Amino acid sequence: MSSRLRLSLLILAVLTISVGGQVRPASALTAAQYASPRISVLVDETHAKYLGGYFYPNTAYMRSVLSSQGYSFDRTQALDSTVLASYDVLVTDLYKENHTRPEIKAIKDWVNDGGRLILTGEWSDLWVPWANNVSSAFDVWFKNGTIYDDAANFNGTSYWIQVRDFAPHPLTRGVDKVVLGAAGIIDMNRSRGIAAVAWSSADSYVNATWVGYKKRGPWPVVGCKSYGNGRVSMISDVSLWAESRLINSTLWQIQLFRNMAEPWSYEIAPKVVDSRGTPLNDARVETRCPNATTLCMKTNSTGHLALKGLSNGSYTLTVIWRGVEVNQTTVTVGILQGDANPEIKARVYYLTVTVTSGIFGGRVPEAKVTVYSTNRTQLESGITGTSGSIEFKQIPYGNWIIEVSAQYLSTSTTVMVDSDESVETGVTLASEVLIITLPIVVVIVGGWIYLLLRAKKLQGAPEHEKLNSGSQGLRRKICPYTV
């Protein structure tokens, strides 16, 4: 082995060992690759419970990581609409006293215009009115009580728990776990419109006398709610990003903060199927966006398409199949709904045509059947089988002309297709016409032949027979009663 190769292997081994403690699941790696926009964060310490503030000075690790990703952090002792206008995110600590009504109005107006508010709770003192002063303005609440776990970790001073039970939600993208120390509870009984996205384990319990000793979980600890054009995120433990001696902030904790702080984009991934659930391949889908623009895409062989990078709001999807509008569906994407993956059942059906003979009623094989639109545009064409039937698949809703031809004769009828249809249509066959008309033709031809033969016989008779025949006829005209 050459010295250069040995050196390369040694460097590779050192690198492998050095990153061994940083190994993350693929989902987290993928999430870490998301490009962060420039995000300005304001930490509200106007009413901080802890002297000198608590959240800001104890988030040095998180701020150092996020600062290199486009984040900036400030803290304030003043809070009004002018201050908030310069920031994307507002983080609130626990409060020592109530926010004033003008402050709460400024926060609500700011969130309604698109601001992202992060409410941080804690295990104690949340029963006092001012602890929920801002949160209750958005109709979300924190509840008193400390969450413990029979399998909780203990560092000699405090307990802390690992949360791994997440709902599929934009807040949980790229997050494998969350570590909480002395966490409280999000009150889901009083909160309306809030989506819980993380829970403590099923073996966890709350040790607080007013809710009952060891009342079992799981308990909601992370939540989210839309408000106007913005959103409110709730985390039940202020220590999540701030208590390094307990948690020593991990990349999952930081990813959770990013999910709370950054604007979200959504994806609509519908599947378009016909009346029998069979995918529609190459169906045109026109999507009307909230900003009045229209996106046009086509489904793939499995009936799917993906609309990515969407903002929250309502999207109207119009499905067009073979030039016909067969469905219109409105899909709302937003904070509570998460990604939308609807199955769209289009008004696309199956049409079975059975051809019978027009006179005798038997089934007609090898008849040509063509389906036309009302303006005579051909949609489908085929030949009936031995049973006299043919099935046309995935026919769009509407009026269609069915034209049947067999043995040089044809007929047509119009059918309304609004479900799976079976149509029977009769066509008069040339063989049937021949069978019916042949005896008549024979009689007529025979009569003409008889008359012609009689005429020829008269022309060839002797003169006296003609005279006798003529005089007898004359006598009959003069004396009609003579025998």
Q: Which helix (H) or strand (E) holds 28?
A: helix 26-32
Task: Indicate whether 219 belongs to any domain.
Answer: yes
Number of domains in the chain: 4
Tell me: the pLDDT tens digits for 386-427?
999 999 999 999 999 999 988 878 889 999 999 999 999 887
Q: Do residue 115 and residue 238 come from a single domain?
A: yes
Cα separation, 307 vs 295, in Å, equals 9
In a domain, 10, yes or no: no
Shared domain for 58 and 180, answered yes or no, is yes
CATH number at residue 191: 3.40.50.880
For residue 451, the enclosing domain spans: 436-478
Of residues 377 and 211, more confidently modeled: 377
Give the angle subtended at the CA of 120 by the CAs of 117 and 124, to the nearest 5°.
150
Tell me, yes or no, whether 45 lies in a domain: yes
Residue 374 located in a structural domain:
yes
First-to-last C-alpha distance (Å) of the chain? 145
Tell me, yes or no, whether 59 and 106 share the same domain: yes
Domain end among 328, 345, 362: 345
Angle, to 10 degrees, between the axis of helix 60-67 and the axis of helix 251-261? 70
Q: Are residues 63 and 162 in the same domain?
A: yes
The verdict on 222 and 275 lying in the same domain is no
Position 472 pLDDT exceeds 60: no
Predicted pLDDT of residue 332: 81
In-domain check, residue 201: yes
Whether residues 315 and 379 share a domain: the answer is no
Summarised one tens digit per residue, pLDDT across range 49-67 is 655 677 788 888 888 889 9
Domain boundary among 345, 370, 389: 345
Predicted pLDDT at 16: 30
Asked if 311 and 460 sit in the same domain, the reply is: no
Same domain (yes/no): 324, 378: no
pLDDT for 245 equals: 56
Mean residue pLDDT across the chain: 78
Residues 423, 353 contacting (CB under 8 angstroms): yes
Q: Is the pLDDT of residue 32 over 50?
A: no
Question: Quick check: 158 pLDDT over 80?
Answer: no
More confident residue, 154 or 219: 219
Please indicate, yes or no, if residue 66 is contained in any of the structural domains: yes
pTM of the model: 0.61
Residue 162: pLDDT band (50, 70, 90) is confident
Q: Tell me whether residue 1 is in a domain.
A: no
243's tokens: 């208590």
Residues 101 and 204 in one domain: yes
With respect to residue 448, please indicate whether it lies within any of the assigned structural domains.
yes
pLDDT at 3: 44
CATH number at residue 320: 2.60.40.1120
Do residues 413 and 458 share a domain? no
Same domain? For 174 and 195 the reply is yes
More confident site: 332 or 418: 418
In this structure, the answer to whether residues 420 and 448 fall within a common structural domain is no
Of the residues 294, 328, 345, the one at which a domain ends: 345
What tens digit of pLDDT does each residue of 83-105 get?
999 999 999 876 667 888 999 99
